[in-house]
């Protein structure tokens, strides 16, 4: 395990939805569940998040890319 920090800036109305998604991902990890988890990134609307992190990483290609809907899977 490696601990790192992500700093996020986004419109306040999106925060509960984003955090709920992260909490559900955490729940799935705790119970050993596997599910597809989606978040609609409304770039045409007001969802313009900014992410910064305290670690470097190598960008990876998605496991699948259907019509712009990307799925990332390390497994």
**What is the extent of the structural domain holding 52?**
6-57
CA distance linking residue 55 with residue 41, whole number of Å: 23
Q: What is the pLDDT of residues 18-31, one digit of tens each?
A: 999 999 999 999 99
Number of C-alpha atoms within 13 angstroms, CB side, residue 63? 6
Q: Is residue 40 part of a domain?
A: yes
Q: Is residue 70 part of a domain?
A: no
pLDDT for res 68 = 82
Q: Is residue 72 part of a domain?
A: no
What pTM was computed for the model? 0.86
pLDDT for res 66 = 81
Q: Is residue 67 part of a domain?
A: no
pLDDT for res 48 = 95
pLDDT for res 67 = 79
Number of C-alpha atoms within 13 angstroms, CB side, residue 29? 6
Q: Is residue 64 part of a domain?
A: no
Q: What is the pLDDT of residues 32-61, one digit of tens each?
A: 999 999 999 988 999 999 999 999 999 999
Q: Is residue 27 part of a domain?
A: yes
């Amino acid at each position: 395990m490696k601990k790192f920090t992500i700093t996020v800036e986004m419109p306040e109305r999106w925060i509960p939805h984003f955090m709920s998604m992260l909490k559900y991902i955490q729940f799935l990890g705790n119970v050993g569940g596997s599910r597809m988890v989606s978040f609609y990134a409304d770039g045409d609307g007001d969802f313009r998040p900014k992410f910064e992190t305290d670690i470097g990483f190598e960008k990876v290609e998605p496991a699948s890319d259907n019509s712009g809907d990307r799925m990332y899977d390390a497994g």
